[in-house]
Structure 1
């Protein structure tokens, strides 16, 4: 595949290594204005840019009939606009708050645990996420996805950064510590005990590999997909 990297920070560089090792070609490494680049020979774009650039990057690719994979978080208030544009242009798009295989298994574990705990009113749930100090958004997109998974199977209706103000809110603690790729922990606590599940990334390779696998999977397809489609889970 000929790949355009939208964003060439730490994740972009890691994706480049994985893509080259799988015999793909990087044709663009874009940090600035995407409209100045020629996408004629691009098979797929992988967006790990910044929240303020992601929407323009994604919509430009869809308008150019370029399949696009996005792992940028912090822009999702415009997600429905992207879906509508994708349907209008018969485009191809995958968004994931986290492309790691392990994290996507963790998402499924989180949903399953939430179903079990929904019958136990004595437990309160909290989410903690830890990332490197260069991460621009808080809480992480992964933490929000985890909160949404819990809300689908419980009486919680909202998440709240830091301390919850109402009983139907899930409190999310976001910590920023140098050189931490990403750690997420769900804890259910009662007066008697606590139950926790945790995912800890040791490096960025899992995120990068998942994005490249998604880019490979999406070839020849049209529509809006998720990592559950890619991994068939």
Structure 2
């Protein structure tokens, strides 16, 4: 399948999702856009209230990161997960001692509708770069309204009790919880609480964009 995809890219040039430059055989993003994916560790409200409130991110949801995330999430450009995930993994501090990567789950109905979970694709790429397993240890217990359509004060209530964790497949040690985009942090905190309730002691955060 990889050889076929490479042949199709060579025969049918397509624009880079980040800048519209024509791509050749390379997958995902052009070299110039890849160079703009610079990871950094940040402290971001409301996470700063908690000791584990540091997160690694590629920066604000704008420019190349915004266009790439939207192409992955809504355009079905799954090969972007490798470029974004690899860049994100490069910013994970060695001191975090990450032992597994857990994606934020979609509700099963929404995942069937989309055909994939973009956070799971990103988690796979990050985990491969860190040489640790990607583990779908979280599930949504109920459908929720889309966070982006809610006011900030409504988001935590929308997600209350919406996640459950099964840590039996997780290796011991810190977990890197991963999502594509963070707005207020409510989704990450709800997932973190579910992991804590299941006995996971240490949770770190990673998002492509905030």
Higher helix residue share: 2
Larger Rg: 1
TM-score relative to the length of structure 2:
0.33
